[in-house]
Structure 1
Amino acid sequence: MARLGAAVTVVTTGSLAQPVGFTASAVCSVTDDPPTVLVCLKRSSRVRPSFVEGAAMCVNVLAANQEELSNRFAGPLSAVERFAAGHWETLMTGAPVLNEAVVSLDCRISRLVEEGTHTVMFGRVQALRLGATAHGLVYFNRSYHRLPYVEAFDGVTDN
């Protein structure tokens, strides 16, 4: 699976007063109607009890310069230490939203599925916020890679 590159995210729940979060690269779009994403979380994770059906969840996609933040949320630090980095606020659900994220998907957990060593969490997007930067961070072959900004194709060509 190390050869399956993926965006690097920090997934949060709780509130600004009692935030919980972890780094995830096992995140993907499920459907656009209703807008739904899935996130995989290891069953043995100490943050897992905070992510329950119906809970708020925010998927914060990290920018190219946020490798240190990814490591902070993947390591043994406490919630206070993890959330000391970055600037946090909330959108619709109350889950912590990273102001510096490429995009933040503010979700409500609609379903949990246990599969092997992980819990698959389905989140219905309630709100989203695009960040100021679109320089992405991906994890591939056990290391970080920075993606340059590429102007989105708008479907119009000059012929």
Structure 2
Amino acid sequence: MAHLAAPVTVVTTVGGDGRPHAFTASAVCSLSADPPLLLVCVNRSGSAHDVFTTADRFLVNVLGHEQAHVARAFARHLRAEDEARLATLELGLPGLPDASARFACTRQGVLPGGDHSILVGRPEQVALSGAPPLIHYRRGWHQPAALPAHRPSQPFRLF
């Protein structure tokens, strides 16, 4: 699965305790265009699981290509200090103001997915900065590079 490139996100919410909660996720993608839905996978054994599967709203913060340190901070088990520094953003949710993009979602459902739960969210507000996103690929951090719009056609070969 390390060969499946993915955007790196920090998903945030406010828990029932009134405190901000966050975790780093790379299993985030568009689910539907009509209605607009996205999905986020959260590990069932992780400390964030119960908070996020019961929250009514959550914010997907797509990290910019220079934010690998942020991804590492919210992947740690001891992240309360970093969570306390999150800013209040869309829908009153805690988040990262300098993220490449933010999708403020209302939870539409929670589905089983092996050792993860799949959060289905409907984006209610979106904020875009235009910064290139951070990509996780082969266990490393990368930034996307644009390809030329027109390349000479070459025959496609499987082998």
Match of 1:114 among 109, 112, 115: 112
Instruction: Give 1:116 shift.
Output: 1.0
Instruction: Give 1:80 shift.
Output: 2.5
SS of equivalent residue, structure 2 residue 53: coil
Give 1:52's aligned residue.
Answer: 53
Give 1:36's aligned residue.
Answer: 37
Gaps of 5+ in 1: 154-159
The one-letter code sitting in structure 1 at the alignment partner of 2:111 is: V
Q: Distance in 2 between matches of 1:83 and 1:18?
A: 8
Q: CA RMSD in A?
A: 2.0
Q: Distance in 1 between matches of 2:138 and 2:79?
A: 28
Q: Distance in 2 between matches of 1:104 and 1:78?
A: 20
Give 1:7's aligned residue.
Answer: 7
Instruction: Give 1:89 shift.
Output: 2.1
- Please say which structure displays the higher CA radius of gyration: 2
Gaps of 5+ in 2: 150-159
Q: Is the 8 A contact 1:53 1:111 kept in 2?
A: no
Q: Is the 8 A contact 1:72 1:82 kept in 2?
A: no
Mapping 1:1-159, distance limit 5 Å: 1-14=1-14, 18-53=19-54, 55-84=56-85, 88-92=87-91, 94-131=92-129, 133-148=130-145
Q: Is the 8 A contact 1:56 1:109 kept in 2?
A: yes
TM-score by length of 2: 0.84
Q: Is the 8 A contact 2:14 2:55 kept in 1?
A: no
Instruction: Give 1:147 shift.
Output: 2.6
Instruction: Give 1:32 shift.
Output: 1.8
Instruction: Give 1:88 shift.
Output: 1.6
**Counterparts in 2 of 1:102 and 1:12: CA distance versus 1, 3 Å:** same
Q: Distance in 1 between matches of 2:2 and 2:42?
A: 17
